[in-house]
Amino acid sequence: MPREANSRGRSVYVLDLTKELETEVVQGTDVVNNEQPLWTPRGDALIYLTNRAGFGVWSLPMNEGKATSAPRAVRPQSGHVGLLGFNESGA
């Protein structure tokens, strides 16, 4: 996804395939990287890795492709983990 030419950070985008519209929902900066965004099984939040407060797992509540509140730390000091995912029960 597009980034400012002077930005090295990674942002998280939501892509609406019907409207062909992309929306930045989590902004990266030159020091903040956000990685591996993943929808929860119910589609009500994005889970992603970020180094905003030490590398950890964060959650962004979503509704119809838009954030409904600020991101929150789920496991703020988990360190850099492998690929995120959910099991069959959604855990």
Which one-letter DSSP state was computed for residue 80? S
Give the whole-angstrom CA distance, residue 37 versus residue 67. 14
Contact criterion met (CB below 8 Å) for 48 and 74: no
pLDDT by residue, tens only, the chain of 91 residues: 454 554 457 899 998 899 999 999 998 888 888 988 999 988 899 999 998 877 889 999 999 889 999 999 988 777 667 766 777 676 6
| Per-residue b or e along 33-67, where b marks 16 or more CB atoms closer than 10 Å to that residue's CB | bbebbeeeeeeebbbbbbbbeebbbbbbebeeeeb
